[in-house]
Amino acid sequence: MRKYFIAGNWKMHKTVAESVTLAKDLASGLKDCGEKIMIAPAFTALSAVADAIKGGSILLGAQNMGPEEQGAHTGEVSVLMLKDLGVKVVILGHSERRHAYGEDDALVNRKVRLALSHGLETILCVGETLEEREGGRLEAIVGTQIREGLAGVAPGLLDRVTIAYEPVWAIGTGKTATPEDADAVHAFIRTVIAGLYGPESAKKLCIQYGGSVKPDNVAQLMAKDNIDGALVGGASLKPETFVPIAKFR
Ligand code: PGA
């Protein structure tokens, strides 16, 4: 049976103490959960959360990363610092980074290659705005984000890449893509990957859906052939919502 990859993106929420409490509650609530689980607290809480989940199966994630290993880059956090804290997965190219902080595909690509070259897993986020979808540009946008985001990534590294399809209009809005709509975009993503890496790699690729995933819609989404997991924002901030999402089956 396939294992789903359920990831929580805590965004800019929670103090260190609040993060530790949530991490401990999740560790105990998900002790017997068979899925692959990741939580990504704020940078400031990574170290404390790493301690709180030590010895368990929850993976520590980061929400972003600088594009250089080290140096004069005020305000950035390096891949080496993340690894030092036990981070295993880094979320890159989130739409909030792309749209509010001007990250383009070339910058996202530098981060993806750097993270992979240091042995981290990456979740590469892609997705269209409502305007792009309504203008018939969904495939052009998502296709470009994938092709440029993965440029120069060797086939042997693809098993450490997850793609998260997150339609921008569904993030934090309470609007979810229908399972059918999401599945169709995921199928399109597989054809893009097949073109780049061949059909076997496309079949094996883990593709998460993200955008207002909640306990009451997760099962219908995960039931779709091409949906292999979820990237969860708002509903990952409370055990009452994240535990039932991760234990949807
Ligand atoms: P949301 O966020 O679940 O709050 O819509 C998803 C995300 O941004 O990853």
**What is the atom index within ligand 1 of the atom nearest the CA of 95?**
8
> Of 35, 128, 166, 186, which one is the catalytic site residue?
166
Count of structural domains within the chain:
1
Model's pTM, two decimal places? 0.97
**What is the atom index within ligand 1 of the atom nearest the CA of 173?**
5
Q: Is 12 strand, coil or helix?
A: coil
Token representation of residue 135:
């203008």
Query: Domain of 110: which CATH number?
Result: 3.20.20.70
Q: Is 36 strand, coil or helix?
A: strand
pLDDT in tens, the chain (249 residues): 779 999 999 999 999 999 999 999 999 999 999 999 999 999 999 999 999 999 999 999 999 999 999 999 999 999 999 999 999 999 999 999 999 999 999 999 999 999 999 999 999 999 999 999 999 999 999 999 999 999 999 999 999 999 999 999 998 888 888 999 999 999 999 999 999 999 999 999 999 999 999 999 999 999 999 999 999 999 999 999 999 999 999
Token representation of residue 105:
């595909």
Torsion of Cα atoms, 39 then 44 then 48 then 50, to 10°: 40
Distance (Å) of CA 142 to CA 37, 89, 101: 25, 22, 19
Kind plus residue range of the DSSP H or E element containing 44: none
State residue 177's pLDDT score.
86
Distance (Å, rounded) from C-alpha 24 to C-alpha 93?
A: 28
Q: Is 40 strand, coil or helix?
A: strand
Distance 198 CA to ligand 1 centre (A): 30
**In the annotation, is 180 catalytic?**
no
Structural domain range at position 150 = 5-67+76-246
Which residues does 86 contact at the CB level (< 8 Å), separation at least 6? 46, 50, 60
The residue whose C-alpha atom lies closest to atom 6 belonging to ligand 1 is 233
- Asked whether 41 lines ligand 1 (CB < 6 A), one says no
The secondary structure of residue 166, as a DSSP letter, is -
